[in-house]
Amino acid sequence: MNKFELTEENYYSSEASQHYMSVSLFKDFMQCEAAALATMKGEWQREETTALSVGNYVHSYFESKEAHQKFIADKGSALMTKPNKKEPYGHLKSDFKTADAMINALKDETVFKALYEPGQKEVIVTGDIYGYKWKGKIDSLNLDQLYFCDLKTVDDIHKKHWSSTYNKYDNFIADRGYYMQMAVYIELIKQTFGVGCQPFIFAVSKQTPPDKEAIDFNGDQDAIYMEDAMRMIEENQEHIQRVMSGEEEPTRCEHCEYCRLTKKIELPIHASDIEIY
Ligand SMILES: [Zn+2]
Query: Distance from the CA of 235 to the center of ligand 1, in angstroms?
Result: 21
pLDDT at 269 > cutoff 90: yes
Who's near 277: CB < 8 A, 6+ residues apart? 255
29 class by beta-carbon count within 10 Å (0-12 exposed, 13-18 middle, 19+ buried)? buried
Percent of the residues in the chain that have a pLDDT greater than 70, as a whole number: 99
Q: Work out the angle at residue 257's Cα, subtended by the Cα atoms of residues 78 and 76, and round it to the nearest 5 degrees.
A: 5
Q: Which domain holds residue 145?
A: 17-42+109-263
- CA atoms within 13 Å, Cβ hemisphere of 186: 17
Who's near 42: CB < 8 A, 6+ residues apart? 14
Query: Distance from the CA of 254 to the center of ligand 1, in angstroms?
Result: 5
pLDDT at 2 > cutoff 70: no
Per the domain annotation, does 7 fall within a domain? Answer: no
Number of domains in the chain: 1
- Interatomic CA distance for residues 216 and 105, integer angstroms: 19
Per the domain annotation, does 71 fall within a domain? Answer: no
pLDDT digit string, tens, across residues 87-116: 888 888 999 999 999 999 999 999 999 999
Confirm if 70 and 55 have CB atoms less than 8 A apart. Answer: no
Query: Distance from the CA of 265 to the center of ligand 1, in angstroms?
Result: 15
Per the domain annotation, does 274 fall within a domain? Answer: no
Per the domain annotation, does 86 fall within a domain? Answer: no
Query: Distance from the CA of 39 to the center of ligand 1, in angstroms?
Result: 11
Per the domain annotation, does 99 fall within a domain? Answer: no
CA nearest neighbour of 192 among 153, 148, 222, 233: 148
Query: Distance from the CA of 236 to the center of ligand 1, in angstroms?
Result: 17
Q: Ligand 1 (ion): which residues have CB within 5 A?
A: 32, 35, 253, 256, 259
Query: Distance from the CA of 276 to the center of ligand 1, in angstroms?
Result: 15
Instruction: Give the residue-averaged pLDDT of 164-168.
Output: 85
pLDDT digit string, tens, across residues 27-50: 999 999 999 999 888 888 888 788
Who's near 169: CB < 8 A, 6+ residues apart? 160, 161, 162, 163
Query: Distance from the CA of 249 to the center of ligand 1, in angstroms?
Result: 13
pLDDT at 1 > cutoff 70: no
Confirm if 264 and 50 have CB atoms less than 8 A apart. Answer: no
Per the domain annotation, does 204 fall within a domain? Answer: yes
Query: Distance from the CA of 259 to the center of ligand 1, in angstroms?
Result: 4
Query: Distance from the CA of 182 to the center of ligand 1, in angstroms?
Result: 26
* Pure H helices in the chain: 14-19, 23-31, 33-40, 50-63, 65-75, 94-107, 110-115, 172-175, 178-193, 220-244, 257-261
Query: Distance from the CA of 46 to the center of ligand 1, in angstroms?
Result: 12
What φ, ψ does residue 64 adopt, rounded to 5°? -175, 160
Query: Distance from the CA of 40 to the center of ligand 1, in angstroms?
Result: 14
Per the domain annotation, does 92 fall within a domain? Answer: no
Least trusted range by pLDDT, from 162-166, 208-212, 240-244, 250-254: 162-166
What CATH number is associated with residue 187? 3.90.320.10
CA 34 to chain centre: 19
Per the domain annotation, does 85 fall within a domain? Answer: no
Helix (H) or strand (E) holding 200: strand 198-205
Q: Give the relative orientation of helices 33-40 and 23-31 as an angle to the nearest 10 degrees.
A: 130
- Interatomic CA distance for residues 230 and 78, integer angstroms: 38
Query: Distance from the CA of 264 to the center of ligand 1, in angstroms?
Result: 13
- Interatomic CA distance for residues 222 and 224, integer angstroms: 5
